[in-house]
């Protein structure tokens, strides 16, 4: 099963000190760019769709869209995985599980610890029943423009309780990272990451990777991060490339869109190199 293979990749990444990139999409151009980069770099990738992205594409259609395009592009199915990102609605999360997602992410980060554990545990039961990997989240990851409040970061002393009581496979943490493009360079709390890593062998996830400095990624991976999420940068390239393309007289989408795909492919290639996942396919 894809979920079992994905777990093998996580273990390999954790042992060898590299990370798997999760790249979100909500258009076929974005998806195709990501897939082409994965193929060229011979890298495993996780394709992410949030609740909003899944709803837009159609939760029943996402897997078939991915699977058909993978076949069209002649890509190794053993390298492509699908994750339901930032699920807050258990009913919607269940639909993702029922529709061939390899992994799901339950986000109870805005809840108190007790309620987060309770909701995450419910999601874990749903996922494990169907042999799907599951990611939980502890600590609040702010959005662009919001101040980073130390009280909302992930506290290492809560890690063991959260992981042991929920049974999650992966853990998204808050240690100075933000969702979106930062307005000024981030101050990643690497000491916090070290302390978190000491408390668990669970696969650690870096959300809000867009705009993060290369050296920060490298250090975070060295300290235990095994999955990094990229979304905003892909959206920005899609928008900027489309705006530029529409300035011309061409009206045929199949002539306008290839350059957009190429730009996204280029970005994802750069991230794959940076994360160290190139040429890491498990035969």
Alpha-helix residue ranges (DSSP H) falling in the chain? 2-16, 28-41, 51-57, 62-72, 90-98, 113-129, 159-166, 190-199, 214-222, 232-245, 253-275
Report the mean per-residue pLDDT for the chain: 96
Q: Model confidence at 211, in pLDDT bands (50, 70, 90)?
A: confident
pLDDT digit string, tens, across residues 41-86: 999 999 999 999 999 999 999 999 999 999 999 998 889 999 999 9
| pLDDT score recorded for residue 283 | 76
pLDDT digit string, tens, across residues 76-122: 888 999 999 999 999 999 999 999 999 999 999 999 999 999 999 99
d(CA 257, CA 244): 11
| pLDDT score recorded for residue 146 | 86
pLDDT digit string, tens, across residues 164-192: 999 999 999 999 999 999 888 889 999 99
Exposed e or buried b per residue across 93-117, where buried means at least 16 C-beta atoms within 10 angstroms of its C-beta: bbbbbebbbbbbbbbbbeeeeeebb
51: left (phi over 0), alpha (psi -120 to 50) or beta: alpha
| pLDDT score recorded for residue 183 | 83
Cα-based distances in Å from 244 to 151, 241, 253:
42, 5, 13
Active site residues: 85
DSSP string, 238-259: HHHHHHHHTTSS---HHHHHHH
Name the burial class of residue 68, with classes exposed (0-12), middle (13-18) and buried (19+) by CB atoms within 10 angstroms of its CB: exposed
For residue 190, report the phi and psi dihedrals to the nearest 5 degrees.
-70, -30
Of 219, 208, 212, the closest CA to residue 186 belongs to 212
Q: Model confidence at 248, in pLDDT bands (50, 70, 90)?
A: confident
CA angle 268, 92, 162 (to 5 degrees): 80
Specify whether the CB–CB gap between 102 and 133 falls below 8 A: yes
**Binding-site residue set:** 86, 107, 137, 179-180, 207-210, 229-232
Q: Model confidence at 35, in pLDDT bands (50, 70, 90)?
A: very high
Specify whether the CB–CB gap between 204 and 136 falls below 8 A: no
**Binding-site residue set for Zn(2+):** 86, 107, 137, 179, 207
**Taking the domains of the chain in order of start, what are their residue ranges?**
2-275
Residue 135 predicted with pLDDT over 90: yes
**Binding-site residue set for dihydroxyacetone phosphate:** 180, 208-210, 229-232
Q: What is the mean pLDDT of residues 4-15?
A: 97
Q: Model confidence at 145, in pLDDT bands (50, 70, 90)?
A: confident
d(CA 36, CA 38): 5
Task: Determine the distance from the C-alpha atom of residue 185 to the mean position of all C-alpha atoms in its chain, rounded to a whole number.
Answer: 21
In this structure, which CATH number among 2.60.120.560, 3.40.50.720, 3.20.20.70, 3.40.50.2000 belongs to the domain 2-275? Answer: 3.20.20.70
Q: What is the mean pLDDT of residues 116-142?
A: 97
CA angle 187, 189, 193 (to 5 degrees): 150
Both structure tokens of 176: 């100075």
Strand pairing category for 225-230 and 20-24: parallel
Residue 1 predicted with pLDDT over 90: no
pTM: 0.96
């Amino acid at each position: 099963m894809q979920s079992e293979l994905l777990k093998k990749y996580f273990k390999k990444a954790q042992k060898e000190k590299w990370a798997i990139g999760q790249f979100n999409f909500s258009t076929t151009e974005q998806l195709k760019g990501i897939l082409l980069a994965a193929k060229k770099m011979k890298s495993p990738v996780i394709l992410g769709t949030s609740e909003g992205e899944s709803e837009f594409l159609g939760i029943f259609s996402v897997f078939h869209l991915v699977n058909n395009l993978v076949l069209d592009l002649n890509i190794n199915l053993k390298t492509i995985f699908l994750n339901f990102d930032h699920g807050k609605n258990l009913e919607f999360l269940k639909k993702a599980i029922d529709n061939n997602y390899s992994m799901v992410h339950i986000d109870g980060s805005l809840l108190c610890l007790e309620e987060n554990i309770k909701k995450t545990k419910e999601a874990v039961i749903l996922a494990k029943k169907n042999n799907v990997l599951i990611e939980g989240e502890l600590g609040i990851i702010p959005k662009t423009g919001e101040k980073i409040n130390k009280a909302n970061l992930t506290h290492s002393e809560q890690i063991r309780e959260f992981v042991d009581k929920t049974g999650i496979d992966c853990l998204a943490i808050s240690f100075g990272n933000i969702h979106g493009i930062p307005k000024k360079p981030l101050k990643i709390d690497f000491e916090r990451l070290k302390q978190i890593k000491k408390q668990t062998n669970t696969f650690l996830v870096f959300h809000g990777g867009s705009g993060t400095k290369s050296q920060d990624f490298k250090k975070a991976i060295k300290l235990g991060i095994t999955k990094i999420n990229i979304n905003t940068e892909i959206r920005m390239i899609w928008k900027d490339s489309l705006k530029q393309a529409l300035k011309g007289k061409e009206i045929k989408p199949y002539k306008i869109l290839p350059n957009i795909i190429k730009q996204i492919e280029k970005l994802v290639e750069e991230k794959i190199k940076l994360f160290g996942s190139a040429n890491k396919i498990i035969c």
